[in-house]
Amino acid sequence: MSPYVVIALLAGYFGVLLLISHFTGEDSNDAFFIGKRSSPWYVVAFGMIGASLSGVTFISVPGWVGDSQFSYMQMVLGYLPGYLVVALVLMPLYYRLNLTSIYTYLRDRFGQNAYKAGASFFLLSRVIGASFRLYLVAIVLQYAVFEKMGFDVPFVVPVIITILLIWLYTRKGGIKTIIWTDTLQTTFMLLAVIVSIVMIARYFGDGFGDLTNRIVESDYSQVFFFELNDSRNFFKNFLAGAFITIVMTGLDQDMMQKNLSCKNIGEAKKNMLWFSVTLVFVNLLFLSLGALLFMYAGDKGITIPQQADELFPMIAMDGYLGYAVALFFILGLIAAAYSSADSALTALTTSFCVDILDIEKYAKPRRNNIRKQVHIGVSVVLVIVIVAFRAINNESVISELFTAAGFTYGPLLGLYAFGLFSKWRIKDRWVWPVLIAAPILSYVIKANAKNWFDGYEVGFEVVIINGLLTFIGLMLIKSVKKN
8 A C-beta contact, residue 473 and residue 480: no
Which helix (H) or strand (E) segment holds residue 278: the answer is: helix 265-300
CA–CA separation, 380 and 394 (whole Å):
23
CA–CA separation, 296 and 410 (whole Å):
40
8 A C-beta contact, residue 415 and residue 110: yes
Rounded to the nearest angstrom, the gap between the alpha carbon of residue 212 and the centroid of all alpha carbons in its chain is 29
Task: Report the pLDDT value the prediction gives residue 181, as an integer from 0 to 100.
Answer: 86
DSSP string, 209-233: HHHHHHHHTSTT-------TTSTT-
Least Cα distance to 186 among 28, 86, 45, 307 occurs for 45
8 A C-beta contact, residue 165 and residue 15: no
8 A C-beta contact, residue 367 and residue 29: yes
Q: Name 424's bridge partners.
A: 482
Q: Name 39's bridge partners.
A: 262
Per-residue DSSP letter, 260: T
Per-residue DSSP letter, 455: T
Which helix (H) or strand (E) segment holds residue 479: the answer is: strand 478-482
Task: Report the pLDDT value the prediction gives residue 56, as an integer from 0 to 100.
Answer: 62
CA–CA separation, 380 and 386 (whole Å):
10
Q: Name 482's bridge partners.
A: 424
8 A C-beta contact, residue 98 and residue 260: no
* CB neighbours of residue 38 within 10 Å: 13
8 A C-beta contact, residue 9 and residue 330: yes
Task: Report the pLDDT value the prediction gives residue 92, as an integer from 0 to 100.
Answer: 94
Least Cα distance to 435 among 405, 419, 412 occurs for 412
Q: Name 426's bridge partners.
A: 478
Secondary structure class of 323 (helix, strand, coil) = helix
Q: Is the Cα dihedral 410, 411, 412, 414 positive or negative?
A: positive
Number of H-type helices and E-type strands within the chain: 21, 2
Task: Report the pLDDT value the prediction gives residue 402, as an integer from 0 to 100.
Answer: 58
Helix axes 112-141, 395-406, angle to 10 degrees: 150
Burial class (CB in 10 A: 0-12, 13-18, 19+), 370: middle
- Each residue's pLDDT expressed in tens, for the chain with a length of 483 residues: 677 777 787 788 888 888 888 888 777 888 888 888 888 888 888 888 877 776 667 777 888 888 888 998 999 999 999 999 999 999 999 999 998 899 999 999 999 999 999 999 999 888 888 887 788 777 767 776 777 777 778 888 888 888 888 888 888 778 888 888 888 888 888 998 999 999 999 998 888 888 999 999 988 889 998 887 777 889 988 998 898 889 888 998 888 988 888 989 999 999 999 999 999 999 999 999 999 999 998 888 888 887 777 788 888 877 888 888 888 888 887 777 777 778 888 989 999 999 999 998 888 778 889 999 999 999 999 999 988 888 876 655 555 665 666 688 889 999 999 999 999 999 999 999 999 999 999 989 988 988 888 888 887 788 889 999 999 999 999 986 666
The single-letter code of the amino acid at 65 is V
Rounded to the nearest angstrom, the gap between the alpha carbon of residue 220 and the centroid of all alpha carbons in its chain is 26
CB proximity list for 317: less than 8 A, separation 6 or greater: 1, 326, 329, 330
Q: Specify the pTM.
A: 0.86
Task: Report the pLDDT value the prediction gives residue 129, as an integer from 0 to 100.
Answer: 80
